[in-house]
Amino acid sequence: MDVTPRYLGAGSFLSRRDPRVLLIVPVLFVVAVAGISDLRGMLVCVAVAIVYYRAAGIPWREVRANWIFMLTFTTIIVLVNSIFTAGDSADAHGGVGETLFTLPLTGTVITMPILSYSATVFLRYVSLAMVSFPVAFNVAPSDLGTAVARLGVSQRLAYGVDLTFRFLPSTVASLSETIDAQRTRGYEHSRSRNPIKRLRSMRPVVIPLTVNALLDAEDTANAMDLRGFGGRHRTWMRELIFDRTDYLVLLGFVVLAALMVAAKIAGLTGGVWTP
C-alpha cells in the first residue's frame, strides 16, 4: 500500500496549470468552507470540489489506499465528535430538534440537527481532501520548490517543502529494500496482536532505515552546500507565468470564498440546517 506523494496527473487539466494555482486553491477553499454549518451550503462547495478533483485526472487505482485511509480516519473523527460534542456544537449553531434515538452505551441523544451537523463536518473534510490531493499528485516534483518560492516564501522553506516531498517516496523505497534484505537474513515480522511485540520486531528494519535516511540527508546537504545554496541572489531555471486559464480558475475560487464568507456574515450558512 503506497500512500506517498507521486506525480500521477500528467496531461490533465490541472497538471497544465501553473503549480502556484494548485497551492493557492486549497487556501481559498479553506476560507470558503471554514464558516459553513449549513449542509446545503456545504453541498455547493462539495460540488465545486468534485469538479476540481475530476479535472486533476488522478487514476483511482493509484490513490485508492490514500482515500481509504482518509475516509476511515475522517469517519472515526466524525463519529467521536458526534458522540461527545456534536450536540453542543449543533445547539451552538441554532440546531434544536426532537430526539431520534439514544446511543445505548454512552446515552448520547441523537437528533436531526446533530446528524445534519455531522454530515456537514464529514463533507468539509472530504471536500478539503479533494482540493488538496492535486498538490501531492499533480505538481511535478521539479516544480514544487519553484512554485513555493514564487509565492514569496524564503528559499530555505521552499526547498524544505520540496525535499520533503522527494524524501517520502525514497524513504518508502528504502523501507521495502531494507525489509527484503533483512528477510534474506532470516528476519520475519511478528504477527502478534501485542503492539509492543510488533514494535520490537521492527528494530532490525527501523535501525538501518534510520541510518540510511540520515546518510541520504547528509549527502543532500553536502551537495547543496557545494552548489552554493543559501546565496542571496538565487536564480531559478523554471519560469512560472500565469496564463488566462490560471487567472480564471483562481477568480472562480475567489468568488466562491467571497460568496461563502458573505453568506456566513448574512447568517445564511452559519446555522445548522434541518430537513
Question: C-alpha distances in angstroms, 138 versus 10, 121, 129, 260?
Answer: 7, 26, 14, 27
The share of the chain scoring above pLDDT 70, in percent, equals 85
Place of cell 468534485: 50
Residue 212 has pLDDT above 90, yes or no: no
Residue 152 neighbours by CB under 8 Å, 6+ apart: none
pLDDT bin (cut points 50, 70, 90) of residue 96 is low
β-partners of residue 171 are none
Give the mean model confidence (pLDDT) for residues 177-183: 82
Higher confidence at residue 255 or residue 219? 255
β-partners of residue 111 are 99
Question: C-alpha distances in angstroms, 15 versus 136, 179, 190, 195, 239?
Answer: 11, 34, 42, 42, 16
Q: Which pLDDT belongs to residue 93?
A: 46
Helix (H, G, I), strand (E, B) or coil at 111: strand
Chain segment 56-84, per-residue pLDDT in tens: 999 998 889 889 999 999 999 888 877 66
Residue 26 has pLDDT above 80, yes or no: yes
Q: Which of 71-80, 85-94, 206-215 shows the lowest per-residue confidence on average (mean pLDDT)?
A: 85-94
- Which of 30, 236, 267 is closest to 153 using CA atoms? 236
d(CA 263, CA 128): 19
Q: Which of 6-15, 23-32, 83-92 shows the lowest per-residue confidence on average (mean pLDDT)?
A: 83-92
Higher confidence at residue 149 or residue 108? 149
Residue 158 has pLDDT above 80, yes or no: no
Chain segment 219-231, per-residue pLDDT in tens: 877 887 777 776 6
Give the mean model confidence (pLDDT) for residues 206-220: 83
Residue 242 neighbours by CB under 8 Å, 6+ apart: 18, 20, 21, 250
Residue 98 has pLDDT above 70, yes or no: no
Residue boundaries of the structural domains of the chain: 14-143+245-265, 146-226
